[in-house]
Structure 1
């Protein structure tokens, strides 16, 4: 009986050692701050929780909001102002981005205060933040779009596990003319990426919206055919958004690497205003270089390291199998005696 108890205790210890450490997480309980937009008379719609301003040319505009420190400690918060860009997953980004705009005439070029500020707020208190913008000397059609991001500047310790980083974003739209502009969607080219994302190859299509208006609820349909007219890839994207005057790349994932040859990409897109766009791009595959598991190209691929979670599970299961075998043997021995 003592042997049986010893085996059971050993089994439980091995399960704890092999399985439980995989689930150790230290997470934050929630955001320790909040923000509140201060309404102004020049806001197009005062019922919104973002800034949509209509200002006359060559005038100064102010953006005001409160940062509330809801914690019991003094904190410093980062305030960044950026132009709105479009992410490669068809979403608008108000933070730092590698994606560019089509023109230098943008919202941050009109900002007269610093693009980055550090705001100190004492515990359980609030602080008013004011930003100044000078409107262009001439009228322009459409809107300029950007955003304000607010986040605390605490650096998590190395032993803190997973730390949630909370960030608030406030959209900023600026216009000085009521003339509406239709957005646009143009495709410059399509090319096969030499990298892989999650071990899946993909085709990049370079797109841009060169108008001062954003695209909302964008649905796309991408079809890729080989030179025999056979469909080798197809992908749908739904409910996307595109920032004004922005450039970005749309990914079309492939199930397998494409053989050498000529290919044609057909793109179709439609937004909530029934604007419809289409494009046709041709590209070639040479030397079948897009092979995700090719050892020769492995160093040039952006393949994330595999998690050791699977290995941990396998070790745990192996330990269980071994110990179950030991238990069965012990029971047989006890039965014999």
Structure 2
């Protein structure tokens, strides 16, 4: 009976998890334990205490650096290498790998145009290979950093398996090796942020506004904090707000910072955005921008909101039904278990009483005899 009860509870929680998640993850056999890399620091490395390239280059000259790749596995490996310009994602995290983030208009020199190397490297089992990367410096001198990264991944991980399930999630493992290119001292250079736009995002699954701004200088913006509020112009009341900290921005990149509209039914009309961004070193930028939410945009937002509510209601109903079902199953199980135990007890009691009566009768017969 205990085993049956455990199975029922396990099935319940399995159903609960299935109802709450529409996908599953598949992990390939090849992961980061199968290969490794070593950054071979050149003479023109600025900071020799870091595990990435921090190179001082000269205008118009071509230089090279080396990267050692090691196959730690007993099978042949093919590694894919991709060269990417650093960008900033919507969470204020710098991306050094391949991505679909928009390139900022302030970017003069793209890392992927300056740094070249092999796109694929084949490693025999338990072997290593040193590859050469070429850096072609721009003819004109530049200030600050050109920042980017090199992604190293097993080809087995890049070839995603075909599946009829649109919700399949595949874990991919890769090393990202940063590279900074500069021509002189960068310590005196400070970031400069520029407001670009405030817009409504009606393409994603969540209702949100997007605050887009750029770091137009070739230097990192560190330890950023953002304080945003959006007021309804007609009522002068705050409709939405956002506070976020511990953010970074790469040189000459932009960020589309999402401001959640949560589960509020929004009204069409004029709104006023007030935003303040601070960064390490005392930098502070404030913007105020009036914008309008049209009836069409509001209609799209509210339709999605209602659809989300309906979906949430459906999940709640499923959970309630499952919970009631579990309670009924457990209740019935305990009822019959207790009934069976009581029946066994009564049977034993009756047997004892019967035995006692028989024993008493035997003793009287013996005395009479």
TM tier, shorter chain?
0.7 to 0.9
**Structure 1 residue 13 displacement after superposition:** 4.0
TM-score (structure 2 length as normaliser): 0.75
Aligned length: 321
Q: Is the 8 A contact 2:229 2:274 kept in 1?
A: yes
- 1:242 counterpart = 2:249: yes
CA distance in 2, matches of 1:26, 1:110: 36
- 1:279 counterpart = 2:287: yes
CA RMSD of aligned residues (A): 3.3
Aligned to 2:269: 261
Q: Could you tell me which of 178, 181, 204 is aligned with 2:185?
A: 178
Q: Is the 8 A contact 2:82 2:98 kept in 1?
A: no
Q: Is the radius of gyration larger for structure 1 or structure 2?
A: 2
1 or 2, which has the higher helix percentage?
2
Q: Could you tell me which of 22, 37, 40 is aligned with 1:38?
A: 40
CA distance in 2, matches of 1:293, 1:124: 58
Q: Could you tell me which of 210, 216, 229 is aligned with 2:236?
A: 229
Q: 1:309 to 1:52 in 2, by over 3 A?
A: farther
Aligned to 2:129: 127
Q: Is the 8 A contact 2:267 2:298 kept in 1?
A: no
Q: Is the 8 A contact 1:150 1:168 kept in 2?
A: yes
CA distance in 1, matches of 2:146, 2:294: 42
**Structure 1 residue 178 displacement after superposition:** 2.9
Matches within 5 A, 1:192-211: 192-197=200-205, 199=206, 201-211=207-217
Q: Which consecutive unaligned segments of at least 5 residues does structure 1 have? A: none
Q: 1:38 to 1:266 in 2, by over 3 A?
A: same
Between 1:162-171 and 1:30-39, the stretch displaced more is 162-171
**Structure 1 residue 158 displacement after superposition:** 6.4
Q: Could you tell me which of 289, 292, 311 is aligned with 2:298?
A: 289
Q: Is the 8 A contact 1:107 1:144 kept in 2?
A: yes
**Structure 1 residue 240 displacement after superposition:** 0.9
CA distance in 2, matches of 1:185, 1:309: 43
Aligned to 2:82: 80
- 1:110 counterpart = 2:114: yes
**Structure 1 residue 34 displacement after superposition:** 1.9
**Structure 1 residue 28 displacement after superposition:** 6.5
Q: Is the 8 A contact 1:100 1:248 kept in 2?
A: no
Matches within 5 A, 1:10-159: 10-20=4-14, 27=27, 31-32=32-33, 33-98=35-100, 99-102=102-105, 103-113=107-117, 117-154=119-156, 155=159
**Structure 1 residue 9 displacement after superposition:** 5.2
CA distance in 2, matches of 1:185, 1:265: 16
Partner of 2:333, secondary structure, is: helix
TM-score (structure 1 length as normaliser): 0.82
Q: 1:138 to 1:319 in 2, by over 3 A?
A: same
Q: Is the 8 A contact 2:37 2:68 kept in 1?
A: yes
